Structure 1
């Protein structure tokens, strides 16, 4: 086999193991051995209450795009539960991502994460594919089973809370069928039946939406590695992350083949101190740190095979534009978004 034939074989294997190469959102954020940076919306701190102001949110999201960050992730908080104490970015995630598709140019737009058990899969398919089309392929879909029991009676599905893992798998299968098949056929007892007489449009640009399971969503790792396109996890600390990424990588290779790549990424609260030398200090589900310690922390995550970090700025007290500029000047160069 000559060098050209070698190249063709390697390229074909790469395309097969990375089906979204060339899709602008996925390709900006995920690659083997590389860590990129993004944010969980909204881009402001609100440490003392459940709701942000959303003041200047359009300008700040444009700034994150212009500075070169990888992704913005919109949370799906369908109802305000005072016990939960956080309403996220307030707006419906898909309505907001539609706005951001027009408000930004290159940054990937994701959900972190859509509660798949409480959204009808056909409507979710149309919403996600619409954002994908409107943003020219920047859509990244994080999905979850929903862990707040109070929401299930409100949506009339209280009997499925304990069996939400099964409901999640069924919704996931119907979503995939609706987005990937023309005039699809399938029976989904909790959601309906597709007879092949109707279609869901639009279809995603790549023929498939990059879809990532959040946490466990009451599934085992083998199922997630087989059916999802990556794993969106919670902050677990440096002492555990290497063990989890090793488990993930092994499961991906077992279920998808030796050359397969499916990203592992984390969301965490970030309180960036003005003192660049402020030591790394754990806070609930996140870290408080100066930029020097943050760079060391991210370098350790990259070495542990984490592919993306989505910072949640909720605990921040500094103006977030100051934080964006500091991260862009000192931290982002070491973990640049991909082109």
Structure 2
């Protein structure tokens, strides 16, 4: 095990203590509880690759008032017609800064920053600054990205993204959290400890969770990152989904360590409230009352958060949000 892995493992073991003081983390991730987040943009557009980006501030404020725990921004640098979705269009960190000025307490997250395509030194500066400026409301989801067409534009080998993810993560954590850090990286420079990066995270560390497997083993994620946001499991798979993660945490750190588990994806909210779980591309369709029951089942299995992308719902966003606020969110409030 190299020194970067030792650093990540040791720091990760103390994350539960540190994050007890982090407002953004506390709002979203609570042991034995489940909260609901929304993936940006806050708009339904099932038949278009891009949203209008109208009324998003009003929707974000309403989501906060209804008890939504977090807003999650995706990292999509380019429009690829083969995927047919550009997310919230704006750069995730700039857009989250904009939302921070219009909200008070809701957690602001990334789902996720495509780490192999980001320069980790500048990313550390950006994330530490944003965590300060939002009064500790930032949770960073990181991924390896799944759009192979983007990698050649950046001059990066798509097949090497797993190795590059680990390398960038080690550099990011090192310069973000250590005073006058020392490191040597094949792709991201070196430091002999004569420079320091400011600001440091306001609560010791900005929580960094994996969004998907990021081309890593689940064991590596459990040992080195602060949580996992996976893909939506079928109802009958919930217990196995949670138990696999919990077993890995216990094996790595022993009993008593809490690292959150969540899942996210598209939700087509069916107009019939009792409409049962049906798999769709990238997520699932379900009625609001059935969704409430499904999330109670997920909570009881050990899942702590669900991030819903309502893009594919063929109904007005405001209408869908109010239905969630009436039927689902009172049971899983992020207040």
Give TM class, smaller chain.
over 0.9
Shift of 1:22: 2.3
Q: Comparing 241-250 with 114-123, which one deviates more in the overlay? A: 241-250
Q: Which residue of 2 aligns with 1:164?
A: 161
Q: Specify every segment of 5 or more residues in structure 1 that has no aligned partner in the other structure, as ranges.
A: 1-13
Shift of 1:336: 1.6
Contact 2:233 2:241 in 1 (8 A): no
Superposed CA offset, 1:70-96 (max 9, x none): 000000001111112110000000000
Superposition pairs of residues 146-295 of structure 1, within 5 angstroms: 146-158=145-157, 161-295=158-292
Q: Comparing 220-229 with 189-198, which one deviates more in the overlay? A: 189-198
Contact 2:44 2:311 in 1 (8 A): yes
Give the alignment's TM-score, normalised by structure 1. 0.92
Give the alignment's TM-score, normalised by structure 2. 0.93
User: Does 2:277 match 1:304?
Assistant: no
Question: Within 2, Cα distance between the matches of 1:220 and 1:15?
Answer: 21
Q: Specify every segment of 5 or more residues in structure 2 that has no aligned partner in the other structure, as ranges.
A: 1-12
2:324 to 321, 324, 327: 327
Contact 1:44 1:316 in 2 (8 A): no
Shift of 1:311: 0.5
Structure 1 segments of 4+ aligned residues over 6 angstroms from their partners: none
Question: Within 2, Cα distance between the matches of 1:290 and 1:133?
Answer: 39
Contact 2:272 2:287 in 1 (8 A): yes
Contact 1:268 1:311 in 2 (8 A): yes
Contact 1:35 1:307 in 2 (8 A): yes
Question: Within 2, Cα distance between the matches of 1:199 and 1:135?
Answer: 22
Q: Which residue of 2 aligns with 1:318?
A: 315
Contact 2:165 2:214 in 1 (8 A): yes
**Given the superposition, is the C-alpha separation of residues 55 and 258 from structure 1 closer, same or farther in structure 2, using an over 3 Å criterion?**
same
SS at structure 2 position matched to 1:117:
helix
Give the RMSD, CA atoms, in angstroms: 1.5
SS at structure 1 position matched to 2:42:
coil
Q: Which residue of 1 aligns with 2:44?
A: 45
Q: Comparing 231-240 with 72-81, which one deviates more in the overlay? A: 231-240
